[in-house]
Amino acid sequence: MTHPKPPLEGIRAQIRSICDQAGRDADSVCLLAVSKTCTAAELAALADQGQRHFGENYLQEGLDKIAALTGRDLVWHFIGPIQSNKTRDIAAHFDWVHSVDRLKVARRLSEQRPAQRAPLNVCIQVNVDDEASKSGVSLAEVAALAEAVAALPNLRLRGLMAIPRADSDDHNRAAFRRLAMTLSHLRNTMPALDTLSMGMSADYPVAIEEGATVIRLGTALFGPRPARQ
């Protein structure tokens, strides 16, 4: 069975166009393919077109794909909620974690990162809209957690991640701007921070305009997917 090629080049072209209009270098935006529920064969087809960064929400599904696609020089991002009993495998097998929202989890990731691997790149997940149903720390809690995470030896704090409430472009623009401003304040004392993981299939153009350095696209690349059972 052959798999149709995802519209990767079209999305890359749109990213370049948005960056040009915003006065940004297109290379400053990393396209993260959100590959939950996709097969290893679908990921391989995208990798054959030059896609290197893949984001997984579910640990076991991600581990299976990492094993199936070993040797392809791919970069694996864990982007889902983190249960404490899952940190060892996340620390051992992923290159990035975008969803750190508690110091307990960050400590476990640092303690369980294998010594032979480079420090684990992490982002703090921020609940920019204070939604009860979403993970993430409040904007007011970011600075204290960032300071604590940055001190852990086997992690490299890279920046912030958010999933704003699905709403209008104006609402999301304001949420993205709040996140960007929060990162800017953090950089006064942590100048190495360089990552704003924000923007998904419905709002990534706005996110890029507001400074996103990682956009997380699933539906735009793979089409609608069935709900997880």
Predicted pLDDT of residue 125: 98
DSSP three-state, residue 34 = strand
- CB 143, CB 90: distance < 8 Å: no
Nearest residue to 99 via CA among 208, 217, 197, 9: 197
Q: Is the pLDDT of residue 92 over 70?
A: yes
Question: In this predicted model, which residue has the larger pLDDT, 139 or 5?
Answer: 139
The tens digit of pLDDT for each residue in 32-87 reads 999 999 999 999 999 999 999 999 999 999 999 999 999 999 999 999 999 999 99
DSSP three-state, residue 79 = coil
Look up the pTM and report it.
0.94
Q: Is the pLDDT of residue 5 over 70?
A: no
Nearest residue to 146 via CA among 130, 163, 164, 123: 123
Of the candidate CATH numbers 3.20.20.10, 3.30.70.260, 2.40.30.10, 3.40.50.720, the domain formed by 8-221 belongs to: 3.20.20.10
1: confidence class by pLDDT, cuts 50, 70, 90: very low
- CB 73, CB 52: distance < 8 Å: yes
Please provide the average confidence, as pLDDT, over all residues in the chain: 94
The tens digit of pLDDT for each residue in 199-214 reads 999 999 999 999 999 9
Q: Is the pLDDT of residue 152 over 90?
A: yes
Q: Looking at this protein, which amino acid is placed at residue 112?
A: Q
Predicted pLDDT of residue 228: 56
Q: Percentage of the chain with pLDDT > 70? A: 96
Averaged pLDDT, 16-40: 96
Kindly list the domain boundaries of the chain, sorted by start residue.
Answer: 8-221
Distance (Å, whole) CA 77 – CA 29 = 15
Question: In this predicted model, which residue has the larger pLDDT, 120 or 229?
Answer: 120
